[in-house]
Amino acid sequence: MINVTLKDGSQIQVESGTTILDAAFGISPGLARAALAANVDGVLTELTQKIEKDCTVEILTFENKEAREVMRHTASHILAHAVKRLYPDSKLAIGPAVENGFYYDIDSETVFTPEILEKLENEMRSIVKEKLQLVRITLPREEALELMRERDEPYKVELINELPEDAVISFYKQGDFIDLCAGPHLPDTGRVKVFKLTSCTGAYWRGDSKNKMLQRIYGTAFSKKEELDAYLLMVEEAKKRDHRKLGRELDLYAIMDEGPGFPFFFSKGMVLRNELEGFWRELHRKYGYEEIRTPIILNEELWHRSGHWDHYKDNMYFTRIDDEPYAIKPMNCPGGILAYKRKMWSYKDFPLRVGELGLVHRHELSGTLHGLMRVRCFTQDDAHIFMTEEMMHSEIKGVIEKIDKIYKVFGFKYHVELSTCPEDFIGTDEMRALSEKVLRDVLEDINMEYVENPGDGAFYGPKIDFHLQDAIGRTWQCGTVQLDFQMPERFEISYIGSDGEKHRPVMIHTVAFGSVERFIGILTEHYAGAFPVWLSPVQVQIIPITDRVHPVVRDLHRKLTDAGLRAECDFRSEKMGYKIREAQMQKIPYMLVIGDNEAQQGSVSVRSRSEGDLGQSSVDDFIKKIKSEIELKI
C-alpha cells in the first residue's frame, strides 16, 4: 500500500496504480465531483495520474487558480474541436488559458461573427455531453511532425520545429480530435459545463505584425452558472467604465494613430495627473524621500553593466550620439544608482531614500497595446532606498506602510504576493535564500496575509507585489517592493561603515502606482470617471439661469479660483436642465445654479453629482465644505 499525505496533514492508503481521481472518491464523492486537478508533491498534475509512490496530494477545485486554468485550458481544446468539426479547413495556432478565461487563435476563411460563435458554442455543448476522455499521448519529434503534417496543421509544425531534436512531445486526444499540448487537462470534456464564447478579435501569429493576422476567439468557463452570470455582468459594467471611452468623453487623454502606444494628455487629464503626482510627492516627503530626475537617454554600456540588456534589449529603443550607441531607458534604476555614485556616503547618511517620477520607454508589440494600460512610454514612480543590512527589516516595513496609505486614499482593497527569485536570478544561492527570507519574515512579522508566487521575481531579486481590487472586483498588479543585493554589486557602489571601511549597501526598489499612466487608467475605471473632488479636473460648474446674473457669476468664479478651486462657468444660451445634464455627463462633483434670487441674496443653489439638489448655501459655507472634502480626499 502507498501512503498519501493530504493537505491537512492526514494520511490515507491506496493501492499502487490508483488514480488521483479514484483516491479523491475515497476521501469524499463530493470532493471528487468538484475536483479539477491536483498538486502532487507540489507539481500540478491531472486527475488521471496514477499514484505509484508515497506522496503529498492536494486535490484542487475551482476555487484554486491553477485548477481554474486547467479547466479553461480544457475548454479551449473543446472550442478548437468544435471549430474543426464545423469548419474542418481551419488551421489551429495556440489556445491557452488566460486570466478569467481562454482563447484560441485560428487561421480560417470563415469569419467568426457573433452568429458563428453561437454555432460553435452549441457544438461545444455537444462535445461536453459526449464526455470524451482527454488522453495524453507522447511522440518523438519526427513522429510528432509527421502527425501534424498529416493533419495539415502548419502552425503546430512550426512550434514543434522549435523544440529540441531529442524532445518527447505530448498531445491530448479527445475522440477524433488531437492537439499539441503540454497539459495538464481535465479527465473528460463533460466537466466543462458552464462556458461562454465572448468575442473574436484579430491577432498576429506570435504577436508579430510581420506575420499573418489570425482570428482570436475568446471565451470563459466557470463551475456554476451563477458565477458565469456575475462575470458577464461585470464585463458589461467594465465596458461602461472603459478608460479609453471615458478618456475621450471627458477630454482627458487619448492615443493617436500617429503615435501607437504613446499617450496624449490634454489639459483636464494633466490636472488629474498633476494632482496624483503632487500627492505622491507630498507623501514621499513625509516619509523622508528626496526627489531626483535622471536622463531618459544613457549610454548603451550602462544597460550591459546593470544586466538589463539580457532581459530587455528586445524591448528597448536605441539611437547614436557622437557615433556612440545610446539607449532610451526602459527603467530608472541604473540612473538612480549613478546618482548615488556621485559621492561617497557614510552609514550615518543611511537610510538614503530617493524618489523619481521618471519617463521610461519600452517597445511593446502592437497587438498588446491597450489604452493607458499597456503603452510604450510611461512614468514610473520609482523610489530607491540605500541602506545597511541591519536596516532591511524596518525599511521594508516602512515601504509597505507607505503603499498601504496610498491605496487606502483611493478605497482599494488589495492582496499581497511574495514573488520569489526566477531561474535566471543573477545572484548566488545564498543571496537568493537570504533575500527571500527577509521579505517573508517582514510579511509574517506584520501579520500580512500573502500567497507565494514562485519564480516571478526580478532577475536581481525577489519582490512583494500588491494586487489592487477595483470597484467591480477586478484585480490589478501595481505596487512592488523589491530587495536587491545585485545592482550594488554590479555598479560597485559603497559606503563608509562605522569601522571606517568600505561596505556594499543593500537596495530596495519600490513603486506604488507602478505606472502613472496605467494607474490613471485604473482610477478612471474604478471611479467610472466620477473622480473624487480632490482629483476632479473640474470641481465646480457654475450655471447662470439668465444673462442678468453673468457679472455675479464672474465674481463668484473669481472667488472660487482664488480659494484654490477648479471652477468653470457655463455661459451658453441653453436651458438650465440641459446644462445640468451636461455637467452630470462630465462627472463634475458640484454644480452651482445662480438665478436672480441667488444673485440678490449672495447665495448659491448647490447640486451634487451623487446626491442631487442640496438646496441653498452661502458662498463661504460652500467653499468651506468643498475644501474640507479636498483636504480629506473624499
CATH of the domain at 471: 3.30.930.10
Do 44 and 104 lie in a common domain? no
pLDDT value at residue 424: 81
How far apart CA 623 and CA 632 sit, in angstroms, is: 14
pLDDT tens figures, 515-573: 999 999 999 999 999 999 999 999 999 999 999 999 999 999 999 999 999 999 999 99
Which of 469, 492, 526 lies at the terminal end of a domain, its last residue? 526
> How long a stretch of residues is the chain?
634
Torsion of CA 353, 354, 355, 359, to 10 degrees: -150
Is 362 in the active site? yes
For 243, phi then psi, to 5°, come to -65, -25
Number of domains the chain contains: 4
Q: Is the pLDDT of residue 117 over 80?
A: yes
Q: Is residue 336 part of a domain?
A: no
Strand partners, 57: 6, 40
How far apart CA 602 and CA 540 sit, in angstroms, is: 17
Q: Is residue 235 part of a domain?
A: yes
Do 362 and 411 lie in a common domain? yes
Do 424 and 561 lie in a common domain? no
Whole-prediction pTM: 0.83
Do 352 and 462 lie in a common domain? yes
Do 411 and 486 lie in a common domain? yes
Torsion of CA 96, 366, 264, 252, to 10 degrees: -30
Is 509 in the active site? yes
Beta strand pairing call for 290-291 and 612-618: unpaired
Is 382 in the active site? yes
Spatial contact of 467 and 477, defined as CB atoms under 8 Å apart = yes
How far apart CA 592 and CA 568 sit, in angstroms, is: 10
- Which one is catalytic: 382, 465, 470, 484? 382
- Tell me how many helices (H) and strands (E) the chain has: 20, 36
Q: Is residue 330 part of a domain?
A: no
Q: Is residue 229 part of a domain?
A: yes
Q: What is the CATH number of the domain that holds 168?
A: 3.30.980.10
Q: Rounded mean pLDDT of 53-57? A: 92
120: domain range? 66-240
Q: What is the CATH number of the domain that holds 614?
A: 3.40.50.800
Spatial contact of 443 and 416, defined as CB atoms under 8 Å apart = yes
- Which one is catalytic: 509, 579, 587, 607? 509
pLDDT value at residue 350: 97
Is 421 in the active site? no
pLDDT value at residue 168: 87
Q: Is residue 435 part of a domain?
A: yes
Do 199 and 121 lie in a common domain? yes
Q: Is residue 117 part of a domain?
A: yes
Q: Rounded mean pLDDT of 594-621? A: 95
- Which one is catalytic: 181, 200, 333, 569? 333
pLDDT tens figures, 207-242: 887 899 999 999 999 999 999 999 999 989 999 999
Which of 16, 45, 61 lies at the terminal end of a domain, its last residue? 61
Helix (H, G, I), strand (E, B) or coil at 527: coil
- Which one is catalytic: 384, 526, 587, 607? 384
Mean pLDDT for the chain overall: 94
Q: What is the CATH number of the domain that holds 22?
A: 3.10.20.30
Do 57 and 75 lie in a common domain? no
Q: Which of the four pLDDT bands, split at 50, 70 and 90, describes residue 249? A: very high
pLDDT tens figures, 137-150: 999 999 999 999 99
Q: Is residue 610 part of a domain?
A: yes
pLDDT value at residue 357: 98
**Mind giving me the DSSP string for 422-441?**
-TT--S-HHHHHHHHHHHHH
Do 210 and 113 lie in a common domain? yes
- Which one is catalytic: 215, 380, 539, 541? 380
Is 384 in the active site? yes
How far apart CA 563 and CA 623 sit, in angstroms, is: 8
Do 73 and 199 lie in a common domain? yes
Do 82 and 159 lie in a common domain? yes
Which of 42, 61, 80 lies at the terminal end of a domain, its last residue? 61
Do 565 and 432 lie in a common domain? no
E strand or H helix at 139: strand 135-140
Do 89 and 52 lie in a common domain? no
Q: Is residue 303 part of a domain?
A: no
Beta carbons within 10 angstroms of residue 393's beta carbon: 14
